[in-house]
Amino acid sequence: MDMTQAIMLTIATAATPLLIAAIGELVVERSGVLNLGVEGMMLMGAVTGFGIAHLTGNAWLGMIAAIFAGAACALLFGFLTLTLVTNQVATGLALTILGLGASAVIGEGFVGLPGVRLGAIYIPYLSDIPLIGKLLFGQDPIFYIALLLVIGVSWFLFRSRAGLKLRSIGDNHGSAHALGINVVRTRYLAVMFGGACAGLAGAQLSLVYVPQWVENMTAGRGWIALALVVFASWRPWRVLIGAYLFGAVTIGQLHAQAFGIGLPPQLLSALPYLATIIVLVIISRNRRLTMMNTPASLGKPFVPDR
């Protein structure tokens, strides 16, 4: 394997958890709900996926358990914000803090234990194509799930009746309710889908990216995923592009350290987060770009008429 192919593979691996978490949050925000608990849900997915895979010896069971763990955390968020109508921003931050603490407690006994890697899928002949063979036809299953999620979410949002209803709720939940659309139920489903995606993204970290459990192993990726949704102006295909750009920045700083570039390692490690801040500042300066595709009801509570 040459250096170019190795770099492309590592970029794809680094971009996958960002892509999955961001595409799930995009659906949540399209429904008008702002869930800032992505980081916490990813951590719960990571520790659950690793734990179940380690105890059973089956990485697939770990991946499925991580999806359910993320969805369960999202269900808690949905109950608090959609049923009890708590503040979405405060509840999302609380969910992140809960995920940080709960994952550390659950994963305390897993630190240093060998992990179970979710193996790559090998497609005969296609995987042997120079340069792109292993990149496109020799990846782990979560890589392909991420691409299918982008295609599926794009079709759902802009080609299906249910997607139109979801977008209408995000744009004006009052009008959608007046038309007979069940706003709360739709938002519950969207929130749980976003949580399931966050859990899967966490499983990718503990079963593929680094097949072990390390406390706080998401290292801020949940916040980058949130920024990606804004960067992509709530469009699935732009999320795909943004995820790979941020993945390239992440891998770039690792290679810069390996090549001995004369910059402090702390600065190189901060590059992905500096890039996130720079992108958000650039976007915020253009009001038209900021408002483009932004769900008008995003973050606003909804209480149906009694």
Task: Look at residue 206 and tell me whether its pLDDT is greater than 80.
Answer: yes
- pLDDT higher than threshold 90 for residue 81: yes
In this structure, CATH architecture of domain 3-291: Orthogonal Bundle (1.10)
Mapped onto helix, strand or coil, the DSSP state of residue 125 is coil
- Tokens representing 193 are 């889908």
Q: 10 Å Cβ neighbour count for 206?
A: 35
- Which pLDDT belongs to residue 52? 96
Across 83-97, 175-189, 264-278, least confident range: 264-278
**Considering only CA atoms, which of 75, 190, 62 is closest in space to residue 119?**
62
Q: What 3-state class would DSSP assign to 266?
A: helix
232: pLDDT strictly greater than 80: yes
Sequence-distant (≥ 6) Cβ neighbours of residue 277 within 8 angstroms: none
- pLDDT for position 292: 67
What whole-number distance in Å separates Cα of residue 204 and Cα of residue 218?
Answer: 10
Q: Which residues contact 80 (CB under 8 A, 6 or more apart)?
A: 86, 91
Measure CA 272 to chain center.
Answer: 16
Question: Which range, of 39-43, 74-78, 139-143, averages the lowest pLDDT?
Answer: 139-143
Residue-wise pLDDT tens digits, 254-271: 666 666 666 666 666 677
pLDDT on residue 1: 55
The radius of gyration computed from the CA coordinates of the chain, to the nearest angstrom, equals: 19
Concatenated DSSP letters for 1-54? --HHHHHHHHHHHHHHHHHHHHHHHHHHHHTT-----HHHHHHHHHHHHHHHHH
Q: pLDDT at residue 22 above 80? A: yes
Across the chain, mean pLDDT equals: 89
Residue 260 or residue 281, greater confidence: 281
The residue ranges of every structural domain in the chain are 3-291
* Greatest mean pLDDT among 69-73, 105-109, 217-221, 300-304: 69-73
pTM for this one? 0.92
Band (32; pLDDT cuts 50, 70, 90): very high
Q: 185, 273, 196, 165: which is closest to 38 by C-alpha? A: 196
Q: Which range has the worst mean pLDDT, 92-101, 181-190, 217-226, 264-273?
A: 264-273
**High-pLDDT (> 90) share of the chain, %:** 66
Residues 41, 73: contact at Cβ < 8 Å?
yes
Q: Are 50 and 107 in contact (CB under 8 A)?
A: yes
Measured CA distances, 16 to 78, 222, 251 (Å): 25, 12, 13
**Could you tell me how many residues make up the chain?**
306
